[in-house]
Structure 1
Amino acid sequence: MTVVLPARRDARRDDLLRRAAPPRAPMLVWAAIFLNVLAFSGMPTLVPIPGSLGQLVTQGSLVVAMVLALLVNPGMVVRPNLVLVLLSMLAVVALVVSLHNEYLLGSTFRACRLIAFTCVLWLLTPWWGRSDLPLLRWHLTCLRVIVGSVLVGAVLAPGSAFSFEGRLSGALWPIPPTQVGHYAAVLLGCTVVLWFGGVVSGRTLAVTVLAAGGALVLCHTRTALLAIAVGLTLAGASMFLGHARVRRASALVGVLAVLGATAFAPWLLDWFWRGQSAQDAAQLTGRTKVWTAVFAMDRPRLEELFGSGLSNKSFQGLPIDSHWVATYLDQGWFGVFVSLAFLLVLLLLAFTHPRGVRRAVALFLIGYCAVASVSETGLGDASPYLLDLFVAASLLAVPSGRTQT
């Protein structure tokens, strides 16, 4: 893979991309890699989809993404960056460790997938730092399509859409409620931050609030709600002094929050508890029991340091539902420290980046993923969360001073 320093060889890089990539062609790469992380679950859908076909579509889209990435960037021109270096280290070590896993085939396949996924991301780095924010726009387009499909499925097949404990899920494509909440929250949060900076219109914001906000409420995902609150707080704080719209919106939200909490307290509490007891909620729906069992497991010293290889993020048949616990199990303390370094590097880049919409959106995505990582997996594997952070890194990149096609 050829590494071209942006400060020295901008002209060569731009010429390569201008000749190779027609307008909007890289968006097809992003759509393909997004489809790859759109996990296929066994939930009921309006039209039954065989599991083998669903897996073929999602896993095969990574091959399509790789081919398309090579077509739009045939010179394999990349922008050096520490973020993807850390991710590449994680992927390579995961492959080495997975070769010694008890379930060799599955673990090695996941590691190879992560390496291919990382290579596609490397090939998209020439589109970092552009003033037209291409990666963010592509990301939001994919999120709109997904959230729109979930809402359409809820209208056409409400029985299938609310079959999981009354929580909204995908009825056209089987998307679990937790992921519906993730997609809706990221779409809503990014749109709000863009509206803060005057990048999108009030009409766009209103439609997004109705669609994504409605999906977020109907899927009953507390993690996504808490994460979007933290992310918007970070983004709003970074724009508070320079944008009067942020100050007015913050005051209005504060007043509405007090009035809403007073008027709708019983309904809000019912939504929050989801029919659970206080003990169940304190244990995060049983998650903490699994986490305790993972850390209490007796492991060889080498496995504590580097893990046992990539797994399906479960322990004794139970989902782990925590990036940090799952990473400790799969990649040991090495994976945990690399993941932490990954987030800290992004935060450092954000705090040293000039104030503005780019930094605010990046801070929202970083804050959201950091909070969600406590009870969701994905930061150290091919997942939508990793795509969120890749978009954040692209927003914080130094502009090259030229425009690619």
Structure 2
Amino acid sequence: MSTVTAIRTRLGPKPGFREVSPERRRRRRVQLVWALLVMNVMTYFPGSLQLIPFPGIVGKLIAQGALPLALLLVLTVNRPARVRPSVYIFLASLLVTEAVMASLRSEFLISALYRSTRLFLFVVVLWLLTPWWTRKDLLLVRTHLIVLWFIVGSVVFGFLIAPGASRPDGRLVGMVWPIPPTQTGHYAAMAAGLTVVLWMAGLLKRNAALASVLTAVPVLLLTHTRTALIALLVGSVVAGLSLFTARSRVRKFFAIGIGVFSVGALTAGSLVTTWLARGQDTEQVTALTGRTFVWDAIIAQQRTTWQTLFGFGLSNKSFNGLPIDSNWLGTYYDTGVLGVSFCIAMVLFVFVGAWFTPQGPRRAVALFIVAYCVVASFTESGLSEASPYLLELTLAASLVYSRPPQEGVE
């Protein structure tokens, strides 16, 4: 030990200096890894409106560079590299293997292999985060909610600075970081839902929860994203029912919610109908804004046996230049019947695991996320690629993990 170190040891830390414990430093790095994963799935859309525009290549480098940076960072905190056995991650690894096999015979080989490599690295980082799945403080859930608050806050900031430009076509988008209305609605709905569930479980103070909900819900409504709103309602009801017998605040919340819904249905029914219609006629609403035409074309497409089983390789989830906007048909197009089977197995595993998890916050949050993802999967894609939906389903899987925590991780 050097003379300076010995003197500092005897004298103690400097006045006003707060020493950070090694465990806290590890926790912060884990939180940063999760934030980088979220940044990676926030696709940069060049040409979108921004408060501070910068070249598209820079935005793509920021988003895509977040993944290798997350991998390097998680290796510094998980050293030597340790992973927990997990059926969910094993299924995700099978999906990666199948995606690579499909991409090797893709017409667009380079782009398909790039997306497969990205999915592979994404799942590797998720593997390396498994030692932190069973923390009693729900570190990953809290981190995800904090990141969502930052995203929603950036959307609100952009709206306050440029209220007109932030609502092209009447739907709210992100202006600080270009976020399309559907993704903006997803982040707002997930932030509101996690806040409500954590408050119902007694893990979040009322004032903080109220401030979060009163910010996120208006953002969701301004995006006019019907899928996110319905998924939020379904997920909140499912999570609330899992806590119904355990907490009086949940029963009061349901009673107030039923009252508000009844009064709203009688007094604001036409307003709700107008919001849901989004200026579309009956035919457009029935066709889900043209989605059903794309879905019918995918189902009617001629395929070989290989393409039926393995698909055409990972794509940008579009068909003939039109977005597929369905997780199940998008997965079927990219990875075939096997890919769909793996996605179904992942969702079922999380749902069954949550169902048999003891009553409490972990079960409630897991049920909310899996219910949200199931509802959203009909008109949104993402479970078969590196996306917010895959990340959040992994978050739910971490909550139903029943193995005792490893020593030194908690």
Q: Does TM, normalized by the shorter one, top 0.5?
A: yes
Matched-pair contact (CA < 8 Å) for 1:21–1:71? no
Out of 233, 254, 274, which is 1:270 matched to? 274
State which of 48, 52, 56 in structure 2 corresponds to 1:47: 52
- Alpha-carbon contact 1:150-1:172 (below 8 Å) kept: yes
Q: Structure 2 regions of 5+ residues with no counterpart?
A: 1-21
TM-score with structure 2 length normalisation?
0.92
Given the alignment of the two structures, is residue 220 of structure 1 paired with residue 224 of structure 2, yes or no? Answer: yes
Task: Tell whether the 8 Å contact from 1:359 to 1:395 is kept in structure 2 after alignment.
Answer: yes
Question: What are the equivalent positions in structure 2 for 1:27-46 lying under 5 Å apart?
Answer: 27-42=31-46, 43-46=48-51
Unaligned runs of 5+ in 1: 1-17
Does structure 2 retain, via aligned residues, the 8 Å contact 1:86–1:338?
yes
Q: 1:133 matched to which residue of 2?
A: 138
Task: Compute the displacement of 1:401 (Å).
Answer: 6.7
Equivalences for 1:172-211 in 2 at 5 Å? 172-211=176-215
Deviation at 1:382, TM superposition (A): 0.2
Displacement of 1:19: 8.2
Asked whether 1:308 is paired with 2:312, we answer yes
Please tell me whether residue 373 in structure 1 is matched to residue 377 in structure 2: yes
- Distance in 1 between the 2:323 and 2:27 partners? 42
Out of 250, 253, 270, the residue aligned to residue 254 of structure 2 is: 250
Counterpart amino acid of 2:92?
L
Structure 1 residues 348, 313: CA separation in 2 closer, same or farther (over 3 Å shift)?
Answer: same
User: In the comparison of the two structures, how many residue pairs are matched?
Assistant: 388
The Cα of 1:102 is off from its aligned counterpart by: 0.8
1:364 is matched by which residue type in structure 2? Answer: F
Asked if residue 336 in structure 1 is aligned to residue 331 in structure 2, the reply is: no
Instruction: Give runs of ≥4 in structure 1 deviating > 6 Å.
Output: none
Secondary structure in 2 aligned to 1:251? helix
- The answer to whether the 8 A contact 1:36-1:62 is kept is yes
Assess, with a 3 A threshold, how the Cα gap between structure 1 residues 244 and 295 changes in structure 2: closer, same or farther.
Answer: same
Q: Retained in 1: the 8 A contact 2:98–2:338?
A: no
Q: Give the TM-score normalised by structure 1.
A: 0.93
**In 2: Cα distance, 1:341 partner to 1:116 partner:** 21
Q: What SS is found at the alignment partner of 2:170?
A: coil
Counterpart in the other structure of 1:231: 235
Instruction: Give, in whole Å, the separation in 1 of the partners of 2:243 and 2:189.
Output: 20
The whole-number CA distance in structure 2 between the counterparts of 1:310 and 1:109 is 9
- CA shift at 1:233, angstroms? 1.3
State the identity as a percent: 46
Distance 2:51 2:256 in 1: 40
What residue number does 1:96 align with?
101
Matched residue, 2:156: 151
Equivalents in 2 of 1:271, 1:380: separation in Å?
31
Deviation at 1:22, TM superposition (A): 3.1
Amino acid corresponding to residue 346 of structure 2 in structure 1: F
User: Which of 354, 373, 379 matches 2:358?
Assistant: 354
Q: Secondary structure at the match of 1:160?
A: coil
2:61 paired with 1:56: yes
Distance in structure 2 (CA, Å) of the matches to 1:20 and 1:303: 49
Aligned twin of 2:112: 107
| Structure-2 residue corresponding to 1:323 | 327
Q: How far has the Cα of 1:272 moved from its partner? A: 0.6
Aligned counterparts, 1:2-17, within 5 A:
none
